[in-house]
Amino acid sequence: MPTSPVLSDANHRDAIERELRWLLEARPIWSSGMDSDCVPLIKICNGSVTEIAENLANEWAWHGAPRRLGRRFESLLTALLEQTECVKLLGHGIIVKNQKQTIGELDYLIELPGRVLHLEVAVKFYAGIGSPIERTKKSAWVGPSCRDRLDLKINHLETHQLTMSETPLGLQSIADVGLMNPDSSLGLIFGYLIDPWSDAGYLPDGLNSPSPAYWATYKETREAMRHLSRPYSTDYGWTRLKRDQWIAPFFGQAELPLVTKSLDRPAQADCYALTSKHSSSTEKLRLFVMHDGYADEALRAVG
């Protein structure tokens, strides 16, 4: 019998269960419609979440956990949708092709009371760039890789992903798998809007920032940690999160002091959560440490 691989902390049943419970109540950063809570995940029986987490932990132990955060988030959401009361998951990952060429994918078709919904979801991390006035524009929120921007993602959702189920090719793909056509579409972006550590609090209208998150360049890290941790006692400290721990607020015990003498230089971005040093607790905030060239690179991406 093959032995299962060692699970990382993020892939332990308890950690997965906390992610699932967070997802039940998480507010999206952005929604394409006013009825962003129309998918009643919260109606899952609380007792079933532990079982869902156990099943996912076993599946990932044998077959490997998703490596990309987007795929991990999708796996969590799919597991919930499959068990949600008042919702029937009709289809997931429906490929749309033009002859032999794939042109897109429909994330979910779900049946709600009285209608069928086409649902598109994403989990994203965007850092605010520039002056406070500039950060009131969606174009000033840039991903750690500088290849992704909030306004471009929203535009892609609105003009391509959400409309695909209304096109002849989309409708044909839905018919090919024997499913009903959707009555409406909804796009949701979850994740974090990451404020500059020294100048927070400016967001575009209509967006939510569900959890406190800040960013600093590597050379600013000590000053940023000192500033952000000022309201907290020395009973608190920081923990570096592995990438597969980024989705939900971290729960655990701090491993580093409030102000660290040295940190590894990030290749792109590293994430640190502020939490208690003496007992496991939910993070108070998180700090993303970007490479020193990030600000200039992100400003070029904003253009």
Whole-number pLDDT of residue 86: 78
State residue 3's pLDDT score. Answer: 37
3-state secondary structure 145-212: CCCCEHHHHHHHHHHHHCCHHHCHHHHHHHHHCCCCCCCEEEEEEEEEEEEECCCCCCCCCCCCCCCC
pTM higher than 0.85 for the full model?
A: yes
Predicted confidence pLDDT, tens digits, the chain (303 residues) = 333 444 458 899 999 999 999 998 888 999 998 665 556 676 766 668 999 999 999 999 999 999 899 999 999 999 999 888 778 999 999 999 998 889 999 999 999 888 899 999 999 999 999 999 999 999 999 999 999 999 999 999 999 999 999 999 999 999 999 999 999 999 999 999 999 999 988 999 999 888 999 999 999 999 999 999 999 988 999 999 999 999 999 999 999 998 888 899 999 999 999 999 999 999 999 999 999 999 999 988 887
pLDDT score at 273 = 97
Residue 261, pLDDT score: 81
Phi first, then psi: what are they for 294, rounded to 5°? -60, -45
Q: Which amino acid is present at 221?
A: T
Amino acid residing at 187: G
Please, are residues 16 and 111 in contact by the beta-carbon 8 Å criterion? Answer: no
Distance CA 286, CA 270 (A): 10
